[in-house]
Amino acid sequence: MAEKHDSDQATRQAAAEAALAEIRFDDKGLVPAIAQEAQTGEVLMLAWMNCDAVIATITTGEAHYWSRSRDKLWRKGESSGQVQTLRDFRVDCDGDTVLLTVDQTGVACHTGRHTCFFRAPRGGRLAEIVPVAVAPEKLYGSKNGGKD
C-alpha cells in the first residue's frame, strides 16, 4: 500500500512540474487563478498563485493560493473550513492564467457568499445579486470577516 501512495505522490509531483513548465508567472512570480465550481460551472473566485501554491494544490488536491496582502501561502479554508477540493487544474493557451475546477465546501467568498462575484449592474446601479449564506463572523470569529 505504501508503494502505491508513493507512486501516486510521484505522479502528482510530476504533474505539478509539468504545469510549472507551462505557466508564465508575472514579474512578481504570480499567476491569476480562477476557481470554478465543478458541478455547476459557476465562477467562485479569482486569486493568485505562486510556484509553491501550484505545487501544493496539485500534490495535495486542495486549493492553495498566494496572499498578496499577507505575503504568504495559504490553503483555502484554513481558517474558515470552506475548503476547495481540486477536481482539475488547467493552464490556459498562453500560460498566463490557471483554472481550478473544485468541489467547494460551503462558501467561497470571505463575505459569506457562495461566489465572490455577487455584484452586477441592475436598475442603473451595482446591486448585490447573491445573498449572504453564512455570516462572516461565524466563519472567522470577527465582524470584519477574514480573507482565506
User: Would 90 be classed as within a structural domain?
Assistant: yes
User: Would 23 be classed as within a structural domain?
Assistant: yes
pLDDT in tens, the chain (148 residues): 555 566 799 999 999 999 999 999 999 999 999 999 999 999 999 999 999 999 999 999 999 999 999 999 999 999 899 999 999 999 999 999 999 999 999 999 999 999 999 999 999 999 999 999 999 999 988 644 556 6
User: Would 125 be classed as within a structural domain?
Assistant: no
Cα within 13 Å of Cα(14), Cβ side:
6
Per-residue pLDDT at 141? 83
Determine whether 20 is exposed, middle or buried from the number of CB atoms within 10 Å of its CB (0-12, 13-18, 19+): middle
CATH of the domain at 42: 3.10.20.810
User: Would 137 be classed as within a structural domain?
Assistant: no
Q: Residue 35: which domain range?
A: 2-101
Per-residue pLDDT at 144? 46
Domains identified in the chain, total number: 1
User: Would 25 be classed as within a structural domain?
Assistant: yes
User: Would 63 be classed as within a structural domain?
Assistant: yes
Strand (E) or helix (H) holding 146: none
Per-residue pLDDT at 7? 72
